[in-house]
Every structure is written in C-alpha cells, then in structure tokens.
Amino acid sequence: MRGTLTDSYGRTLDYLRLSVTDRCNFRCYYCMPEEGIDFVQRKDLLSYEELDYLCTLFLSLGVKKIRITGGEPFVRKGIMDFLTQLSRHPELKEITLTSNGSISNSQIKQLATLGIRKINISLDSLDRQRFYQITRRDRFEEVFACILKLVEEGFLVKLNCVVDGNKNTEDILPFVKLTETQPISVRFLEEMPFNGTGSFVPPTWNHIALFDYIKGHFPDLVKVPDEKNSTSVNYRVPGYAGSFGIIPAFSRTFCGTCNRIRLSATGELRTCLYGPPVANLRDVLRSGMTEALLVEEIVQAVARKAKDGFEAEAQSKKIPKKSMSFLGG
C-alpha cells in the first residue's frame, strides 16, 4: 500500500462513494426535473475496466470501503459482474450499495453470495400516492417488496427519507413506527440543493425541527451510539426492533469527521458533495498518464479538501449545481 489519503486538516479519507451511472428509472423531484436531465453519452462513462482500475489505485492509497451509487446502479447493464470483480480485491473491507429499490430477487441472492450485506434504499414515503408524487413513478409496492425481501434475507437495511415540508411530513411518524417491527434504520435527511434545476429554498424541516417533532410524539426515545464518521445522529424507541437517525445534510454539522471522497461515473473526483470537481480521472487516465502521476493527481486533489461543506460550496458558487443523479449522493 502506498500510504493513506490525508487532507490538510488531518482527516484520513478511506471511504469512496463510486457512481457507476447518471441514469435512473425514477424522477424524484429533489434529484432532477420531471423531464429528466441530459444523460451523458456512453463513451463518456468510465468503463467497468476503468472503474476497477481506479478502485485498485484508491485501495492502494488506503481506501477500505466503497459505496456503489448512481443514478440507480442497477439500471447499468453488467453491474453484477462489476460487483463480482470488485469483491475480489482483498484490501477492500466493505462494499455497500445505495439503490431506489430496483433490485431483483436473483440480484439480492447474488449480492448475499458476494458478501455485500449493507444496502441503503431511498424511500421518501410509505403512502403509494405520495410516493408517486415524489418519484413520478407508480412503483411503491415493488420497492417495498424489495425492502422486505432484503430484510428477510438478512441484509442490514437503511431507508433514506428526504424530508420536505410540502411533500411528506405526514410520513415521518409512520417511518419511525415502521421500526417497531422491522429491524431497519430509517434516516431522515434535510433536503439539499441538487435537483438539477438551479432553484432551491433552504429547508424549514432542518435536523433540529425533525428531532423536536419526533421527540414530541415519542418522548421516551433514547440515543444510540453513532458509527465512526457517521453523518447521522441516531435514536431508538425503547422496545422497537429498529432505529432511526437524522442527517443534517444541508446544515452540515458533521464535516469535521468526514472521511469521504466521491468519483462520478464520468470520472469527476470530488472531495465534498457541495464542492466543485477537483480532478477528472477519466481524462487523466485516457491521456496516457503513468500510474505514478495518476496517483499523485489523486493525492494532491485530496490534500486540498475544503474544511467543510460551506467552504466547498463557496468554491463552486458560480458553477450550477448538478443533479444528485449525476453526483451520486
């Protein structure tokens, strides 16, 4: 191993969020316009071979965990073969996934065989009509059946719910109630400015409002330990099988312990979701640059990581914010 990726604030970056596609079969309002976005051409996507090669470099630099994201990763043809290849790297301690629930039963069984046991599902409502209004797709039953199947097969499932005061606050308490019988973790997220439209109003339902609202209805909830580098503050209702957490995604209170870097499907390397790309590894790789120089490009880019999400956002103030489908969350 060549060492570790460390920024100028002493943070070790050992968690790579890897987007394999910008395409998605849903049209969630907070991610992209109803008509969709201009998806990139296939030639502009990193091939699976290029993705695997770059992962090899990141692993040699101390990355231990890779989360596969999209868009929706399961809409890209060949995804299971890529996951199989990725799982063969002995240095990689953990592969996790984020999906909208478009995972077939056969893929679920394949994931279990590969040892991929942690999956985040984006789900913003437990009501079929609200689900349709949010995703613009009538597929709630399919998604919820996928969640139940994952739980049945022993996966560690987290549900990510983006809270919007005008869309789905009626779902907050039902989501908490869901953890009474289901051993899952629900995480409520503040809305973020990555809807692909360039228009955004800061959320009124911030992490403080969310906690106060839930506490008002479940006054006996207890704090549970947060994982190292966790972005969520986590709680449990006594006697419930699962738990819930609140992620200050817009307030950005967790930046001081951030250990994440992001690579888009087109090779854009970001050291912060809110910041501009700090390098395009696809272009560097395809230019014929040597492996040593490519590694140096990564090391130097990470070293310049902003102090927090606010500083990173200031660096990209004049650059239109891209869709979350492109960024990969």
pLDDT by 10s per residue, the chain, length 329: 677 899 999 999 999 999 999 999 999 988 877 666 677 888 999 999 999 999 999 999 999 999 999 999 999 999 999 999 999 999 999 999 999 999 999 999 999 999 999 999 999 999 999 999 999 999 999 999 999 999 999 999 999 999 998 899 999 999 999 999 999 999 999 988 775 556 667 778 999 999 999 999 999 999 999 988 999 999 999 999 999 999 998 888 889 999 999 999 999 999 999 999 999 999 999 999 999 999 999 999 999 999 989 889 898 776 655 555 556 65
**pTM attached to this predicted model:** 0.92
The per-residue pLDDT for 188 is: 97
Cβ count near 1 (within 10 Å): 9
Task: Report the C-alpha gap between 70 and 243 in whole angstroms.
Answer: 26
**φ and ψ of 270, to 5 deg:** -125, 135
Residue with tokens 């990193």: 46
Instruction: Supply the CATH classification number for the domain 15-327.
Output: 3.20.20.70
Task: Parse the chain into domains and list their residue ranges.
Answer: 15-327
Q: What are the b/e assignments for 251-269, b being 16+ CB within 10 Å?
A: bbebbeebbbbbbbbbbbb
Between strands 15-19 and 260-263, the pairing is parallel
Do the bridges between strand 260-263 and strand 268-270 make them parallel or antiparallel, or are there none, so unpaired? Answer: antiparallel
What DSSP designation does 92 have? Answer: -
Q: Is 169 exposed, middle or buried (0-12, 13-18, 19+ CB in 10 A)?
A: middle
**Cβ–Cβ under 8 Å, residues 193 and 249:** no
Contact between 88 and 114 (Cβ < 8 Å):
no
Which residue from 175, 178, 169, 184 is spatially nearest to 134, judged by alpha carbons? Answer: 169
pLDDT in the model for residue 29? 86
The structure tokens listed for 143 are 């998604």
Residues with Cβ < 8 Å from 279, sequence gap 6 or more? Answer: 268, 269, 297, 298, 301
Three-state DSSP state, 144: helix
The pLDDT assigned to 111 comes to 98
Strand-pairing partners, residue 188, are 161, 246
User: Helix axis angle, 48-60 relative to 291-303, nearest 10°?
Assistant: 70
Cα distance from N-terminal residue to C-terminal residue, the chain: 28
Long-range contacts of 216-219 (CB under 8 A, 24+ apart): 217/173, 217/176, 218/176
